Structure 1
Amino acid sequence: MDIALFSPSSLFHEDDASSTDEEVVENCETYVERSHQFPGMELLIREFSFHQMNANLLWPGTFAFVEWLVQDRSRIERRHILELGSGTGALAIFLKKLYDVDITTSDYDDEEIEENIAHNCRANGVTPVLPHIKHSWGDPFPNPHPEWDLIVASDILLYVKQYANLIKTLCFLLNSYKPRETVVAPQPHDTHSELPRPAFLMSWRRRIGKEDESLFFTGCETAGLQVQHLGSRVYCISPTKPAINHDLASS
């Protein structure tokens, strides 16, 4: 694996940085361990110095997303959650430690990513490690009957050429959703912030051209999904009507 030609901390704008400047190098050719400050806790996250799938670093969208989520815990409590593009697993680990949510990580079909997420779980006291699904967007999904009523992601719109595959995966997960036998209803005081079931909740803080960015949201609407901007560059995407789409179900 190549040695990184940059310091991970140099990729964060000063205003967005939520991590310490000290870096602990475990293996100069492979990993960098950094302490990241999240609301109410500090996480030690091992990041790739370089990874060809860009699953190497925590980007500003992750920190902005958790700040938004902790404003109202009812948005994610009692939800069965799947994270797309988990990368290092930091977001899922934070949500598990803070709220003890039922959450599964997922990313490219790549052994190194899965092993690194497991390492970060153990390093932060999350044992047993979080369940993980190896899935490349657009490919047949390993679980033909998705039970996740909330899908989350942060800063995953970098690769415009993958939008069609991402939307295909989202359509399958949202339209083929099969609720568990027992779904806990929200408490009366929670209804103002209750998200649809199922829903895709995404934070996007990376900066690309507006025309490129709009391709994703337009593509979602064309595919029969509705897009709602909730503020702070957080978006909720949900089906416009119940439907079944088995295109990604494994045979």
Structure 2
Amino acid sequence: MDIALFSPSSLFADPDDSSSEEQHESETPQSYAERTHRFPGMDLIIREFSFHQLNANLLWPGTFAFAEWLVQHRTWIEGRRIIELGSGTGALAIFLQKSFSLDITTSDYDDLEIEENIAHNCKINGITPVLPHIRHSWGDTFPVGEPHWDLVIASDILLYVKQYQKLITSLCSLLKNYKPTDDRTDVKETSQKAGSHVRFPRPAFLMSWRRRIRKEDESLFFNGCADAGLEVEHISSRVYCIKPRD
């Protein structure tokens, strides 16, 4: 698989943080590359940035691993209204919509370039009209006061430790302010834990995390979720379900 070059600029640097490298990168004209990526059962053509200061420029390995997991657990997502946080190129949402005709909304940092690139990727993969998109910077007031999405998904979004609290704030807004629009019931699935059943509620946040970070950094996010009144359940290898505490 041809992977785009990646320059790890600090998206979430403090306002007075700067470096000559970042300044140089920000002045470089944007360039793109369209690459074919293999997803379960299909190929997608995805336009990726050669560089993007918001790190929304390429597909990370966790996207493909999460896609495979979701296919294996399709009953968890079928019939759901879904919003994806940190959509980046939009590839995962595009795959899920084409595979299962899901009601899915993309979301990422409040940046027009990201939104336009996701729309481009929708069109070149035959999704018209394009998927709805919400520009939202974590921690800011969520643009939808009564969110109707009963499933929030994301993959590989725990890169920036200092953004954890803002991410948790946005999760609480989506999960605790959720307004159901029908009487659909929770799903029970058999987990990998000795045939036990996992209650998969509405609403819930389903997250896959594949990139390696220090355990103490990872625990900051999960402990922060618990402090905010969210319950974290480890579903399978690097897949977690987070829901409001009963």
Secondary structure of 2:233's partner?
strand
Structure 2: segments with no counterpart, 5+ residues: 7-28, 191-196
The CA distance in 1 between the partners of 2:219 and 2:187, in whole Å, is 36
Query: 1:83 maps to what in 2?
Result: 84
The CA distance in 1 between the partners of 2:215 and 2:33, in whole Å, is 33
The CA distance in 1 between the partners of 2:213 and 2:48, in whole Å, is 23
Query: Per-residue deviation at 1:196?
Result: 0.9
The CA distance in 1 between the partners of 2:129 and 2:199, in whole Å, is 29
Query: 2:3 maps to what in 1?
Result: 8
Query: 1:225 maps to what in 2?
Result: 230
The CA distance in 1 between the partners of 2:189 and 2:5, in whole Å, is 43
Amino acid at match of 1:238: K
Query: Per-residue deviation at 1:72?
Result: 2.3
Query: Per-residue deviation at 1:173?
Result: 0.7
Query: Per-residue deviation at 1:32?
Result: 1.3
Query: Per-residue deviation at 1:184?
Result: 3.4
Per-residue CA deviation, residues 136-161 of structure 1 (Å, 9 max, x unaligned), is 00001100000110000000000101
Query: Per-residue deviation at 1:183?
Result: 3.7
Is contact 2:186–2:200 with CA below 8 Å preserved after alignment? Answer: no
Distance change (3 Å), C-alpha of 1:108 and 1:214: same
Q: Which has the higher contact order (CA 8 A, sep 6+)?
A: 1
Instruction: Report how many aligned residue pairs link the two structures.
Output: 218
Amino acid at match of 1:196: P
Query: 1:65 maps to what in 2?
Result: 66
Amino acid at match of 1:195: F
TM-score normalised by L of structure 2 = 0.84
Query: 1:163 maps to what in 2?
Result: 164
Per-residue CA deviation, residues 155-184 of structure 1 (Å, 9 max, x unaligned), is 00001010000000001111110001x243
Distance change (3 Å), C-alpha of 1:39 and 1:220: same
Structure 1: segments with no counterpart, 5+ residues: 1-6, 12-27, 242-251
CA RMSD of aligned residues (A): 2.1
Query: Per-residue deviation at 1:63?
Result: 0.6
